[in-house]
Each structure stands twice: as structure tokens, then as C-alpha cells.
Structure 1
Amino acid sequence: MRDALSVIKNDFSKVRRSVMATCMLLFLIIIPLLFTWFNVLAAWDPFGNTKDLKIAVASEDDGYTSDFFPIEVNAGDQVLSQLRANEQMDWVITNPSDAIEGTKSGEYYASIILPSTFSDDMLTFYADGSQPAQIALHTNEKKNALAPTIANKGAEGISANISETFTRTIGDVSLGLVTSLSDFLDQGDTQDALSRIEARAENLQSQLRNGARTARTMGDLTESAIPLLESAQRIIDTPRPSLSDTTRDGITDISASSDALDGALSATRESYAIVGDRIDALYETANISRETRSETLNTLADNVQLNINAYEGLKDTVNTRIRPLAPDEAATLTGQLDEAIAAQESVRDRLRAASDSDSPERPDFSSLDRASSAIEDVRNSGIRDQVSQLAQTLRGIGDTIELPEGDIQLNTDSLAGASAALDDVGATLDQNADRLDDLLDRINTASRTGDLSEIAAIVGDDPEAFAQALAAPVEVERQAIYPVASFGVGMAPLYTTLALWVGALLAAVALRTDVAAKLTKHRPNRFDEEVDLENKTEDDTAEIPSEAPEEPEEIGPFAKYFGRYGTFALVGLAQSTLLTLGLIFFVKLEPAHPFLLVLAGWVSSCIFMLLVYALTVALSNAGKALAVFLLVIQISSAGGSYPLQLLPHWFQSVSPWLPATYSIRAFRSALAGSYGADYWIALATLLLFIIPALILGVVLRKPLANYTSGLNKALAKTKMM
């Protein structure tokens, strides 16, 4: 230990005797603090001068004219007018070509182009299927290339500032247009505009009412098909086919109602052909008794009567539903239904007469053919086309008012369900018509009184205040945990750590790491200095006073190593002390724990000096190059500027093995506040780097000596390095 202290004392004695060495030593101490102070002050508030940032704005807006109100609005011009008065940024109003060209040349940070459809898109945002207004933003990414580690922090802040300011301005313009519209409605053209709205509403209301009636007509016709099918099945006297097999699959929408009615008419017509076959079988079979034949004929007559009743119901439906919509077609259809009913009544009467007769001879049933022919005439009378026309009418109304598909689609399991669903459609159409009635009443009221209080209640008396709310509808209340005064304070740990590492590198370049083999200690003389006998000259000997020097003493390798490191460490302590005290009193960081900040500087500087010193002692110039490489790695991998989670995986993996990582953590805890023992854990982890430094500088130094010597000789031969 005494020999190591002798080395340190001898080093500073030499520095004291040389003015140049003293200046160099002061330079080594000052450089790190200048690096840190200037960078922290430069990054103190990088977003405070956005008002000097030039943003070009140009408009190609063609304006917008409403269908209802004969006023032309150009929202783009109003946006430009608003931006001229905005001082948050340096807005430059120009034309599109100059804006883009200026952005390319670097004259502007960015340019904003309002498209030709800007007003149209902005004022029809409420329409179904409309797209938001598109604004072209051009940025010069080359101009904002971020060479310093923290420079790209400004881009996101600037973009957010542009977005909020521009949104607020557009909102102000939009709501100002509502106010202009309100003023327009107070003028002489108000009645004309409202009349056009009223006419459209009345036309739509009429379509809704007609659609409701049509839907109910379709429901009644569909319901009329049910007794037709039932009576036809009874006449046939066989198991009735499931409706899902005959009709249900076809009743999936309104147009299938015509298929259902046509199928029911066909079933009744075909049933009479089967009746004829049944009658032939009754009279051709010899062993059938009179009572059995009479009972069967009576049953057939009863079923025909049910069929007649069904046709009577169909005729009533035609008279009540179709006649108001198509009177001529309804009259023709009613006449043919009467003929079909009369023919079927004739069949019924013939069956009754045959039942009462005792004759075994088959009577004349030509009325069956007349009944089938009459029913076929009903089918061919146009009832199918008429029902299809009704379905088309209802579908057209649905397209006009954009009814939900579920109101028209009939997912029923029977014809009765189809009828009920159609009635529901009619009710829905009536409800929409009632809403239009209410709208018409309100329009009429506004037309008579000019009252626009509802719009005023929404917008209020201050469109600008409402625009502010639109631009930032949610206000975030920032509650900082471990607060820092500014962005520069947040970056101070990184700058301080880098400065101390740079200070260690400069010390390794400026100071020698090798120590003389022998140091001679003299008794005090009038010069009060020690003399290095190994390096003295004859002139030096002549000047030595009469006091005889002590014999030169050998200095051990450990004393040489730690003695010279002591010189490095004292330089590092001076660097860190001035640096941290300057941050507190000159830069005014106001750390949460001032002493801990100074202590972190002392520990960091000593560890960095030891690491760089060990690399230089063991590897000479190669060690210095390796120290520079570690500096480059630690700039991005130590987590000083970005969260490690945002960095590539390789950087995250190497971060725990870098001393700067723990130095930055300690500085942060001292500046903003410590959580638990995180400050002391960071310092303790940083101290662990003493182990690899001693292994490299003390243990591996001698085995690497030959390699280092050969490397130095090779560099010397170049006569350049």
C-alpha cells in the first residue's frame, strides 16, 4: 500500500512541475462536465419552440352545396383562415405544388393538403356509408434524421401537436358552418327549403302506408290458401302432405305467397279428378253395400262443401284487399271465383242425390269436369301475376325505406306463420309512417315559427368551445410518480454516464499506464521533491543538493498497478465531483437525493476508470479500441433513452452485462427518487464489475504481455500508429 501511495505521490509531483501536464490534467477533468451540462441544457425543453416550426398548408377544396339549402360552403378556405390566426406553429399558407416542393427542399417540416372533396366529406360525415375527410400530410423524413440518441423523441410530440391543433381548427370551422346554416334558416328562403323537406317526407309516408296495406293483403291471401289445401286433402281422403313438403319450402319471402296460392288452387283442381276415380270405384265394386256407398258419397259431399267455403273466403279477400288496389283485375277474378263456386255446388248436389238414390247405376258426374275447368280458369285469371305485383310493390317500398331484412324475410314453418309475419311487416311500416308524421309536424312547426332551439341546444352559443371539446374529448390528468422537471432532466442519467465513460477513455489516452521499475525517495531538501534516479541526467546530478539520496527501491507489480490506478481514480473522482455538483448548482436539476447523486458519480467514475485502465494495461491500444466499442454499445443498450422492451432482442440480452446499465439506474434513483433499495442494488451490481477488471488487469496481464508486445511492435513498424 505504501509503495502504491508513493507512485501516486510521484505522479502528481511530476504534474506539479510541468505547466503543460497541469493544463492537460485540468482538461481531462473539465471535458466530461461540459459534455453533460451542455447536452442536458440543450434537451431541457425541446418542444417549447414549436411555434417556430414551419408547416405548409394548401387547399384544393371545391366547396359544398346542400340539396336542401342553396348556400355554398368552402370549409377549406375557412380552415386556412383559422390557421392564420393560430400561433402554436408557424403555419405557411401556400398552394399545393409549393407546399410539396418546400417540404422536399427542407424549407418546411411538413405540408398539409386539403383535397377537393374536403367540404363535401366533412359536411356529410353523418350519412350512412360516408368516409371521413382525407387530409394529405407530407413529411420530410430526411430533414428530421435523428443522429443523436434522443432526437426522435421530438417527432412524436410534434405530430401529436399538429393533430390536436388541426382537429380543433376543423371542429371550429365545422360548427361555425352549423351557425351559418342557422342564420340562413332565418332568411327568406327558409320556407322553400322546409317545403322541399316536407314534400319528401310526405312522399315517403305515402309509400309506407301503401306498403302496410300491401303487406296485409299478402297476409290475407296467404291465409286463404290454408283452407283450400285442407279441403283438397279431405276430398282426396288420404294423409295430407306436410306443408314443409309442398309449400313451406317456398314461403321464404313475400314473392312466394303467389306460389302458395297457385299451389292451393292446383291441389283443389286435381282433387276433383281423384273424386271421379273414387266414384267409379264405388259403383264398379260388386260387394259394396248401399249403406257404405251412401256414407262415402255423403262424406265427399261434405268435403266439397268445405272446399266451397274456402273459395268463398278467397273471394271475400279479393273483394276487401285486392279490389282497392286493382279494381278491374279484382272484378274479373271475382266473376271466375263465382263460376268455380257454382260448379262445385253442382258437384255437391249430385253427390247428395246419388247418396239418397237406391239405384246401383252410376249417375252422371260431368259436373266434376266443369268444377275442374272453373278452378283452372281462376288460376289463369291473373291472380298469380296480381300477387307477384303486390310482392314487387312491397319489396320496392322496403328498398326505399331500407327496412331491416328481418322485417321482410319470413322464416315461418307454415302458411299461417307466413300470414302472421306479413301482418308484422305491415305493422312495422305503419310505425315508420307514424314517425314520419311526427317529423312532418316538427317541420311544420319550424316552418311556422322559425324555432331552431334544438340545434342551438346542441351547438350552444360558442362553437369554438365546442370545437375544443371535439379536438380533445378526454382530458388526461397526469399524475407523475417520481416526477422530473423536464425532458432534459430525464436524459441526464444517460448523459452523465456517457460523460464519465468518455472521461475514462480520455484519461487512458492521455496518461501512461506503465510505471518506472524503481523509485528513489530522497530526504527532504530545499526543493522538497523526490528524484527518479533511473531517469536522471548528469546535469540533474549536479543540481542535487548535498543530502545523499536513499538507494532506489524496487516497486512490485501490484504496487505499480494499483498506484497508477490511484492516479486514474483521483482524476475520475475530480471529474464526477465537478460534474454532479455542476448539475445541482449550475444546471439546477434539483435531485431528490443530492448526496446520492454525487455518490453515484464517484462509484461510477471509479468503476469506469478501473475497467478502461485494465483494458489498456492488458491489451494496450487494442484495449483502448475495445473501450470505445463498449461506449458505442452502451449508448443504445443501457436503456438510457428508450425502454429496453422497445429495442431489438440482442440489445435487451446484452444490457444486463453492461456497467452503464446500473450506473444509469443509480442516477435515476438519485434524481427522481428511490423505490425500496433499488439505488443500493444498482451500486452493488456496479461494484461487481471490479472482479472482471482485476482478473484482466492483474491475473491476465502477464500471459497477454507477449501478445501485447507483438501488437505494439507491429503498429510501430507502420511508422504511422
Structure 2
Amino acid sequence: MWSIFKKDIKSIVTNWVAAILIGGLMLLPSLYAWFNIKASWDPYSQTDQLPVAVVNEDIGATVRDIELNIGDEVVKELKNNKDMDWHFVDRKEAMDKVEYGDYFAVIVIPENFSKKLGTVIEDRPEKAKVEYYVNEKINAIAPKITASGAGGIVDKITSNFISTVNGTIFEKFNELGLEIEKDLPDIKKFEEYVFQMEEKLPEIHTLLNDSLADAENAKGMIDKAQALVPDAKRVTGEGLQTIDDTTAFLDKAENRLNEIAPQVQKNLEQVQKMATEVNDFISTVQSSDINLNQGKEISDQINGQITSSIENIEAIEGALNQLQEQNNNNEEGSNTNQEQINQALEQLALLKSELQNIQESGQRITAFLSDKQQELDDLIGQIQTMAATTANEIDAFVKLYNEEIEPTVKQEVANAKKTLNDARGILSEIQKTIPEVEKILANTEGNLGEGEETLKKILGEYPYVNDKINQLADRIREIQGETDINEIIELLQNDPEAEKGFFEEPVLLNKNSLFPIPNYGTGMTPFYTVLAIWVGALLLISLLATGVHNSIDYTEKQIYFGKLFTFMSIGFVQALIVTSGDMFILGVDIAEPVWFILFGLIISLVFISIVYTLVSVFGDVGKAMAIVFLVLQIAGSGGTYPVALLPEFFQTIHPFLPFSYAVDLMREAVGGIVWERVYRDLMFLVLFGIIALLIGTFLKGPLSKKTNALMKKSKESGLFH
């Protein structure tokens, strides 16, 4: 084994061509790692070279009399933004160039952008939209970067919008807090009013029911009153007509009284004169000698005079009866007037009765004159007494009529006419008022109807109002028990600018890197370094022979281990170059530089053992196996993407791939060592190396004849060396 190893080293040293080729094999894997690490060093810092078009079509909007154009503000801000290579063009140019590939993406701010944002103060706010077009076929990563840029624009707009809106809101809250503090006594009163309202609601409900009943009753009364209005019109008209008729009748009665007054006076004077004459005549008869033979003549004279007096009295009675009848027909007639007429009629009736008695007595004179002279004298004496009394009574009646009856009747007629005239004026006013009363009743009926409907509606809403007032009162009591309004006022009076700043960036990400990685290239260094070590092993087995000349002098095991030492030595140098170059040429920031190099050397020994064993044991088939193994490990080791994001197949094979533990081991050195993980990774890597050595030790001999025959057959094709 040592002989084979020393021979290989001597060939390298003494053959300058071999030395150059081996030197190239040592350096080439490092270049593979370095170029990839450098290319991915910090790609996100170069996004300012990605051309992205911005199309601003926003026409602005007017919100609360304030002109607003968010699109212009976005453009102004992007012009000072260096995150990407922004191009501000129109829609046609932007779409043409993004389709051709000159622009990676296009961001379009639509014409209603400001208008939609302005709807935040309306009942139904609408979300503003930003259109984003991307040509994803240009590059796999660029669309993600430009999308991040577009999302950053949206996030910035959103952040500024939220901070502005919330700043305004908290300014209003601050003003509201001051107003609430100022109106705190009124708020306390309001609470008291709510509690009082809660207490009074049952009484209010009762009053509403009573009011509705009263309204219904009042409406019924008004309906009755309206029904009586036609009767009132009729009665008033009839009353006016009656008054007019009565006044006319009184005028006639007054005229009639004036007409008969002289006749009554004349008749009274004649009765008075006749009574005196009767009285004088009787006195004359009494004082003279009466010839009984002349009794009939005397009786006829007395009878004639008395008959004339009775006719005069009856004429007076007729006149007074007419006056009494007119007075009775006049409903407004005076009771005093009636009594005077009745008194006069009674006295006239008495006079008439006494005259009739005298007449009857006179007639008896003739009958008894011849028989009873003495009785005649007595009768004449009685007649004389009665005539004297009658004359005195007639004198008294004449005086009563002249002084009381006639003036009183005239005065009462005048009073009745005045009363009727006043009554007519009153009825005329009433008649004029009836249309207004009718109108008022109609309006009142309408108002009562509306009021009744309103009361019914209020009563219908009462359960809802009652529930809400009770809920409000209960909620106030809960709030009083849970919070203090002074604390709320203090909260509302917070600094608006501080609140605006808070909502502009409500959460600050306080990043604490346990194992800080300064850039993307550093993060990819473990993967590309491990990949370079495996590629270096593939280059070795592709160019260097795994067998020896004069193989009959060596056993298969000696050849296997002798060549293994050669491969390991070259691989050792490859690992040393790539790990050292990562730190000193590229400047990768390695947390544990010494362990980084040592881990690289261990990985190289394991990888060389695996790849060399595959080719040494299986020949060209082993080379293919090593390449396939490389492909599987690139995809399944989790070197570029987290294992959890890989397809299920690669997640399944991940634990059985040497790359998985090699990359993880190098990450420990790059970021910072957790020894528990280092021990686990080293254990599995050593296990893979041991397995490879065991396969080479025990299968190299038994499989060598078959492998050599297979290789000889492939060479005969002229396609393989």
C-alpha cells in the first residue's frame, strides 16, 4: 500500500505534466465554490439594477373639500427610492417593454386610486388596488424580488395611509377627550336622566294609555259636536227669524197700543162719567119721592146706562186681551207687563160684575116696586152705596191705568224690543262664529286623529324603547362598575403625533441573531464548499486511475488502499484550498475558522472514500453512481432550501445522504458551533466513511474480475477509455 502511494507521489513530483494536471485538479473544485459563492454573495443589494416600470394613472379625488392625489405622492417617493431601477412611463410603453423583457415588472396605479382610498370616511369603504404585471419567464428569482418591491410599495402606502388616518383619528380623539372632560357634568346628568327615564317608563306608559283613551273620547265628543253644528246653524237661523218676527210683532203691538190708548182713555172717561151720573141719579132718586108707577121708567134708564158702561168695559177688556195675547206670543215678554195687564183685566172684570149686579138690582126694582115700597127704598139705598163704591173704584182704576198700567206696558214693550235687538246681535255673532267653529272642529278632529295615530305608534314602539332604555341603564351601570370615565378621558387625550407614529410602525422587529450570517453568500458557503469537495472527488476519479500497472505484484486490497491514500492526499489539499480560499480570498465571515478547515478536511476524507470506493469497486458504473449520488444530494440535502419545503421523496432520502450531515457540519463552523449537532453530524459522516471502506475492503477482490471484464467490454466499443 505504501509502495503504491509513494510511487504515485514520486510520479507527481518528477513528472511536470502530471504535477500541472494534479495542481489543476486541486484548484478546480475551489473555483467552482468560489464563483458560486461570489455570485450569490448579496444579490438583494443589487436590486437597484432591476428595471421596473411605474405607470401613474391616478386622477386624484376631493375628500372633505381637500384635493388628494396619492398616485403623485407615490411617484414622488419612488423617485427618491433606490431599491430598484424605477422607470416612470405610460401604460403602452410599459406593457410593450415588459412583454419584450426590457422591464422585469410593471406597477400601475389606476385612475381611481385616490378616490377609493378616500372612501375610508364613508359607510362602505372600498379597497384601492395597484395593478402588477410581471414577466416571469425572464428569470426565476427576479419576479420574486420585483414582487417584493411592489409589495413594499403597497406596504409603504398602507403604512403611511394608516398612520395618517390614525393620526387624524387621534387628533379628533384628543379633541373629543377635551370636550368630554368639559362636558363631564352633562354626561353625569345624562346618566341620571337615563336612570330617571328607566324609573319613569311605567308611569309614561300609563300616561300614554290614558292619553290615547282621552284622545279617543275627545274625538267622539268632537264628532258629536260636529253632528250638532247643522242643528246649531238651523236653530240660530230660526232664532234670528223668531227674534225678527217677535220684534215685528212688538212693533205692531206697540203701534196697536198707541192706536187704542186714546180710545181706552176715552172709554175710561165715559165709564167714569157714567158711574158719576149713575151715582148722582141714584142720589137724586133717593132724595125725591119715587112714584112707583115710574119704577119701570127709572129701571129702564138705569139699565140703559149700566149696559152702556158694561160695553165700554168690555171694549177696554178686548183691547187689554189683545195686548195680553201679543205679550204672550212674544217669548221675550216682561212678566211685569203681564202682571199689569192681568191686574187691569181683573179690576175691569170686578167693575163689570158690579155693574151687572146693579143692572140686575135695577131690574128687580121693577118687579118689586109695586109690592115692596120699603124694600125699594132699601134696594135703592144699596144701589146708591154700590154706585158710589163703583164710581170710586172706576176713578181709582182710571188713575191706575193712566199712571201705571199704560206707562208700564209701553216701557216693557220698549225693554222687550231692546232685549230682542241685543239677542239678535248675539245670535248674529254666533251665526258668524259657527263656520269658524266648524273649521276648528274639523282641524281639531284631524289633529286628534294624527295625535291618536302618533300615540298608537308611540305605544307600539314602547316595548322597544323600554328594552333599549333598560339595556342602556344596565350598560351604564356595568361601565360604572368596570371603568372610570376619567380614565377614558385620559386615554383619549393621548399625544396624536405619538399615536400616529405608533400606527405607522406598531410593531418593531427586534432581531436577535443567535448565529449571525452577514450576507447571502456566507449563508451559501457551507453548501457550495461541500459541493466543491464532492466535485473535486469526481474530477479525481475521472482523470486518475484507480488501478496500477503490473497489478500482479499487488493484491486487490493493497491496490485499493494504496490508491486510496493518493486520492485522499489530493482531496486533502483540495479541501484545504477551498476552505482557506473561502476565508482569505472571498472574505467569508466564518465564526470558527479553524474548525471550518478541519471539518472540510474530514468531509473530504469521507467523500473521497465514498467516490473512490464506488469507482474502484464498480468501475465505470461506479462513476455513474457517484454522479447520480451527487444529483440526489444537491436536491435532497437541504443545502439551498429547507428540507420541510422539499418534495416528500427528497425528505425521505434526506437522512441517508452524506451531504445532509456535511452541509450541517460546515454551517456549525460558519455560524457558531452547537456541539451536540457537531457530534451527531461527525458520527454519521464517519459511519458513511466506514461503510465505504468496508465495501472496498471486502468487495474489491470478489468483484474485480467482473468489473475488469465489464470495463474491457466497454473499451472494445471505442466509446469509453
TM-score normalised per structure 2: 0.56
1:506 aligns with 2:516: no
**Cα separation, partners in 2 of 1:655 and 1:420, compared to 1, 3 Å:** same
2:607 matched to which residue of 1? 608
Shift of 1:473: 3.4
Corresponding residue SS for 2:52: strand
Q: Contact conserved, 1:503 with 1:572, CA < 8 A, in 2?
A: yes
Corresponding residue SS for 2:512: coil
Measured in 1, the distance between the counterparts of 2:626 and 2:446 equals 100
Measured in 1, the distance between the counterparts of 2:224 and 2:653 equals 95
Q: Contact conserved, 1:315 with 1:337, CA < 8 A, in 2?
A: no
2:79 matched to which residue of 1? 84
1:583 matched to which residue of 2? 582
1:485 matched to which residue of 2? 518
1:46 matched to which residue of 2? 43
**Cα separation, partners in 2 of 1:700 and 1:314, compared to 1, 3 Å:** same
Shift of 1:78: 3.0
Among 54, 69, 72, the alignment partner of 1:74 is: 69
2:401 matched to which residue of 1? none
Report 1:513-592 matches (<5 A): 513-517=546-550, 554-592=553-591
What letter corresponds to residue 125 of structure 2 in structure 1?
Answer: S
Shift of 1:166: 4.7
Measured in 2, the distance between the counterparts of 1:635 and 1:707 equals 31
1:27 matched to which residue of 2? 24
Report 1:235-246 matches (<5 A): none
What letter corresponds to residue 511 of structure 1 in structure 2?
Answer: L
Shift of 1:332: 4.2
Shift of 1:630: 1.1
What letter corresponds to residue 637 of structure 1 in structure 2?
Answer: G
Report 1:430-469 matches (<5 A): 458=496
Report 1:91-240 matches (<5 A): 91-145=86-140, 152=141, 159-168=147-156
Corresponding residue SS for 1:47: helix
Shift of 1:6: 0.5
Among 194, 200, 212, the alignment partner of 1:314 is: 212
Q: Contact conserved, 2:638 with 2:660, CA < 8 A, in 1?
A: yes
**Cα separation, partners in 2 of 1:385 and 1:618, compared to 1, 3 Å:** farther
Q: Contact conserved, 1:572 with 1:605, CA < 8 A, in 2?
A: yes
TM-score normalised per structure 1: 0.56
1:677 matched to which residue of 2? 676
Shift of 1:598: 1.2
Measured in 2, the distance between the counterparts of 1:714 and 1:384 equals 121
**Cα separation, partners in 2 of 1:171 and 1:654, compared to 1, 3 Å:** closer
Q: Contact conserved, 2:590 with 2:670, CA < 8 A, in 1?
A: yes
Identity between Structure 1 and Structure 2 (%): 29
Shift of 1:34: 1.2
What letter corresponds to residue 576 of structure 2 in structure 1?
Answer: T
Corresponding residue SS for 1:689: helix
Shift of 1:678: 1.9
Corresponding residue SS for 2:86: strand
How many residue pairs get aligned? The number is 456
Write 1 or 2 for the structure with the bigger share of helix.
Answer: 2
**Cα separation, partners in 2 of 1:674 and 1:590, compared to 1, 3 Å:** same
Measured in 1, the distance between the counterparts of 2:454 and 2:565 equals 105
Report 1:374-413 matches (<5 A): none
What do the CA deviations read for 1:153-188 (whole angstroms, capped 9, x no partner)?
x765654444334543566589889999xxxxxxxx
What letter corresponds to residue 585 of structure 2 in structure 1?
Answer: F
Corresponding residue SS for 2:697: helix
1:691 aligns with 2:686: no
What letter corresponds to residue 315 of structure 1 in structure 2?
Answer: A
* 4+ residue segments displaced more than 6 Å: 173-180, 219-222, 336-339, 381-389, 391-394, 426-430, 454-457
What letter corresponds to residue 45 of structure 2 in structure 1?
Answer: G
What letter corresponds to residue 314 of structure 1 in structure 2?
Answer: L
Measured in 1, the distance between the counterparts of 2:222 and 2:470 equals 32
Q: Contact conserved, 2:556 with 2:701, CA < 8 A, in 1?
A: no
Shift of 1:699: 2.2
* Two-structure CA RMSD over aligned residues (Å): 4.2
What letter corresponds to residue 136 of structure 2 in structure 1?
Answer: E
2:246 matched to which residue of 1? none
What do the CA deviations read for 1:649-692 (whole angstroms, capped 9, x no partner)?
21111111011111111111112111133213211210101233
**Cα separation, partners in 2 of 1:179 and 1:693, compared to 1, 3 Å:** closer
2:251 matched to which residue of 1? none
Corresponding residue SS for 2:613: helix
Shift of 1:508: 0.4
1:624 matched to which residue of 2? 623
Corresponding residue SS for 2:115: helix
Unaligned 5+ runs, structure 2:
169-193, 227-444, 474-491
What letter corresponds to residue 490 of structure 1 in structure 2?
Answer: G
**Cα separation, partners in 2 of 1:564 and 1:334, compared to 1, 3 Å:** farther
Shift of 1:39: 1.9
Among 35, 48, 56, the alignment partner of 1:59 is: 56
Measured in 2, the distance between the counterparts of 1:87 and 1:720 equals 56
Shift of 1:710: 5.0
Corresponding residue SS for 2:132: strand
Corresponding residue SS for 1:475: coil
What letter corresponds to residue 700 of structure 2 in structure 1?
Answer: R
What letter corresponds to residue 462 of structure 2 in structure 1?
Answer: S
What letter corresponds to residue 575 of structure 1 in structure 2?
Answer: Q
Q: Contact conserved, 1:64 with 1:120, CA < 8 A, in 2?
A: yes
Shift of 1:580: 1.2
1:240 matched to which residue of 2? none
Shift of 1:393: 8.8
Shift of 1:10: 0.8
Corresponding residue SS for 2:509: coil
- Between stretches 20-29 and 73-82, larger displacement belongs to 73-82
What letter corresponds to residue 510 of structure 1 in structure 2?
Answer: L
Corresponding residue SS for 1:474: coil
Shift of 1:386: 6.6
**Cα separation, partners in 2 of 1:94 and 1:384, compared to 1, 3 Å:** farther
Measured in 1, the distance between the counterparts of 2:452 and 2:532 equals 89
Corresponding residue SS for 1:57: strand
What letter corresponds to residue 477 of structure 1 in structure 2?
Answer: N
- Between stretches 698-707 and 624-633, larger displacement belongs to 698-707
1:206 matched to which residue of 2? none
Q: Contact conserved, 1:164 with 1:471, CA < 8 A, in 2?
A: no
Report 1:645-656 matches (<5 A): 645-656=644-655
Shift of 1:138: 1.5
What letter corresponds to residue 53 of structure 2 in structure 1?
Answer: A
**Cα separation, partners in 2 of 1:171 and 1:640, compared to 1, 3 Å:** closer
Shift of 1:120: 0.9
What do the CA deviations read for 1:420-465 (whole angstroms, capped 9, x no partner)?
43345589999xxxxxxxxxxxxxxxxxxxxxxx9997469xxxx9
What letter corresponds to residue 104 of structure 2 in structure 1?
Answer: Y
Q: Contact conserved, 1:168 with 1:471, CA < 8 A, in 2?
A: no
Measured in 2, the distance between the counterparts of 1:455 and 1:100 equals 50
What letter corresponds to residue 517 of structure 1 in structure 2?
Answer: N
Q: Contact conserved, 2:61 with 2:68, CA < 8 A, in 1?
A: yes
Measured in 2, the distance between the counterparts of 1:653 and 1:28 equals 34
Corresponding residue SS for 2:54: strand
1:524 matched to which residue of 2? none
Among 3, 6, 11, the alignment partner of 1:6 is: 3
Among 436, 439, 462, the alignment partner of 1:419 is: 462
Among 456, 475, 496, the alignment partner of 2:508 is: 475
**Cα separation, partners in 2 of 1:698 and 1:457, compared to 1, 3 Å:** closer
Q: Contact conserved, 1:109 with 1:143, CA < 8 A, in 2?
A: yes
What do the CA deviations read for 1:121-156 (whole angstroms, capped 9, x no partner)?
1122243332221111122211222xxxxxx4x765
Q: Contact conserved, 2:611 with 2:626, CA < 8 A, in 1?
A: yes
**Cα separation, partners in 2 of 1:602 and 1:175, compared to 1, 3 Å:** closer
1:497 aligns with 2:530: yes
Q: Contact conserved, 1:666 with 1:680, CA < 8 A, in 2?
A: no
2:440 matched to which residue of 1? none
